[in-house]
Amino acid sequence: MARTFQVGDTFTHVRQCDRLRPVYYAGASGDYNPIHIDPEVGRQAGFNGVILQGLCTLGWAVEAVAVFVGDPGRVRRVKVRFSRPVLPEDTVTFQGRVTAVSADRLTTEVTATNQRGEPVLRGAVVETSLG
């Protein structure tokens, strides 16, 4: 039996950024921008060290929706606005809410905050196919 969704349905997804995550993601993505792997460059940019690649944070947001709908292959469209970088040792909580349901599409809005309650992602919209 297929799962049904309704406007207003919510979900939560939590990810922990460990100190090696930016290095692992650099290796997987090829994004070796020094701000992600060199603490001194991160400090020169005004941070306490390196920051996580934004696309990794976006990937976690999409993962949250994929877990909610039950199939990562259903993701069709993503729009996002980053609010602040994720730092190593941050715990990021993704909150999602269904904003629209049609016969063949599900639209969700996702926000994310770190453990200090600071928004790291807001206004993300992820559309998935149904069926």
Cα-based distances in Å from 43 to 46, 47, 79, 91? 5, 5, 29, 21
Which token pair is 107?
């639209």
H helices, E strands: number in the chain: 4, 5
Q: Which residue has the tokens 């690649």?
A: 53
Active site residues: 31, 36, 51, 54
